[in-house]
Amino acid sequence: MRIGFRGQLPRAMELVDAFGQTTRLQFEAFERNVALPADLFRFAPPAGADVVAAPAAR
């Protein structure tokens, strides 16, 4: 992974995966420390998806 900056802000990111595929992202209108509602990050697996649970604590 490589991250390119302009000043103190990230402007681009390049990711190379285990298959050698490259993904390039460019960031525009970057906003720092934006408040986001917690429910924006809730995930519900789709019907029929296999869900692997974490091992039980000992």
Q: Where are the beta strands (DSSP E) in the chain?
A: 2-6, 9-16, 22-26
Contact (CB, 8 A) for 30 and 43: no
Q: Is 8 left (phi over 0), alpha (psi -120 to 50) or beta?
A: alpha
User: What pLDDT was estimated at residue 46?
Assistant: 94
Mean pLDDT in runs of 10 for the chain (58 residues)? 94 96 95 92 92 83
User: What pLDDT was estimated at residue 54?
Assistant: 83
